[in-house]
């Protein structure tokens, strides 16, 4: 399932193609939306919330419609994608045709076209977005962190590894970042929320936000390989680490371009190579509260001790 940074990168790629453009034709290939026609509607904006992509569209004027402003709301799920000028297949769920391009949705886990207020009600069920633009303002960022901490403290006590994937608590974190931040923080994935201090929980959220920010525009575009390894030791920082500064990142990425199979992660996907931090063998468990939420988690028993 895509991480929140993947959706931000997708939106960044689609905006030049769709935003401010008029739909010449729409073809919805799902029974509920098959009769819907958004021809001549204007795509006003494309925004992200956690792992949801919202395409805000405006009806041509004058109009007699009850709702002249709608939102095409989609979730990619495990296998979904939005592609530009691709060939339709039996997995195609919708086709948006513009003057110079087509945008196609494939294997989308969910696809709805809703009034704006209904969309906001649905998205309001999510926790704070880990990549919300408000993070750029220090005051707003502290408010977002405080809300996530409040969500953690008010929910049913559970493993920290499960809580990080609960989109009702904090939206946008996926399995990759869950594995990576817990490794970097040296926190055992089976630790309960109640066993962790406020500083540990807020430190995890801030670290996750900072790591994900490195993998979205303007720092990274959609073609840039995702990476979490630009970390430096700093005894004065939370968990004794900090994000590498711009100069350090540029040098490290230049070095990685000249190295074949340079590691991109500390522990995720490194079952054969072992932990990038200590070199020890890592472990993969299935962790979740029910069959729907159960996911594999990769962690290092040496770095992440009880």
Q: What is the pTM of this model?
A: 0.93
| Spans of all domains in the chain | 4-123, 133-299
- Poorest-confidence range of 67-81, 154-168, 207-221, 250-264? 250-264
Q: What is the pLDDT of residues 225-272, one digit of tens each?
A: 899 999 999 999 999 999 999 999 988 887 877 777 889 999 999 999
Task: Say which DSSP state 153 is in.
Answer: H
Please give the CATH number for the structural domain made up of 4-123: 3.20.190.10
Query: What rounded mean pLDDT belongs to the chain?
Result: 93
CATH no. for 133-299? 1.10.8.50
Quick: pLDDT tens for 47-59: 999 999 999 999 9
Pairing of strands 92-97, 102-106: antiparallel
- Angle, CA 49 vertex, CA 23 and CA 155 arms, to 5°: 150
Q: Where are the alpha helices (DSSP H) in the chain?
A: 4-18, 116-123, 138-154, 160-163, 175-184, 198-213, 246-257
């Amino acid at each position: 399932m895509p991480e929140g940074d993947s959706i931000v990168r997708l939106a960044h790629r689609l905006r030049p193609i769709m935003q401010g453009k008029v739909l010449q034709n729409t073809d919805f290939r799902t029974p509920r939306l098959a009769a819907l026609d958004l021809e001549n509607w204007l795509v006003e904006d494309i925004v992200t919330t956690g792992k949801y992509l919202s395409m805000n569209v405006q009806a041509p004027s004058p109009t007699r419609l009850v709702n002249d402003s709608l939102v095409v709301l989609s979730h990619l799920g495990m296998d979904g994608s939005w592609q530009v000028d691709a060939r339709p297949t039996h997995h195609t769920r919708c086709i948006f045709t513009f003057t110079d391009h087509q945008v196609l949705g494939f294997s989308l886990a969910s696809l709805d076209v809703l009034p704006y207020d209904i969309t906001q009600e649905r998205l309001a069920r999510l926790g704070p977005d880990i990549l919300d633009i408000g993070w750029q303002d220090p005051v707003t960022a502290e408010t977002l962190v405080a809300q996530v901490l409040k969500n953690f403290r008010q929910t049913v006590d559970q493993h920290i590894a499960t809580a990080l994937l609960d989109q009702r608590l904090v939206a946008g974190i996926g399995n990759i970042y869950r594995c990576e931040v817990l490794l970097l923080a040296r926190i055992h994935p089976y630790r309960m929320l109640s066993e962790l201090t406020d500083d540990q929980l807020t430190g995890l959220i801030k670290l996750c936000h900072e790591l994900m920010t490195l993998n979205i525009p303007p720092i990274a575009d959609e073609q840039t390989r995702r990476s979490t390894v630009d970390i430096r030791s700093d005894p004065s920082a939370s968990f004794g680490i900090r994000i590498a500064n711009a100069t350090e990142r540029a040098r490290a990425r230049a070095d990685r371009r000249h190295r074949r199979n340079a590691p991109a992660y500390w522990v995720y996907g490194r079952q054969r190579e072992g932990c990038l931090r200590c070199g020890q063998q890592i472990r993969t468990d299935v962790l979740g509260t029910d069959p729907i939420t159960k996911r594999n988690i990769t962690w290092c028993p040496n770095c992440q001790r009880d």
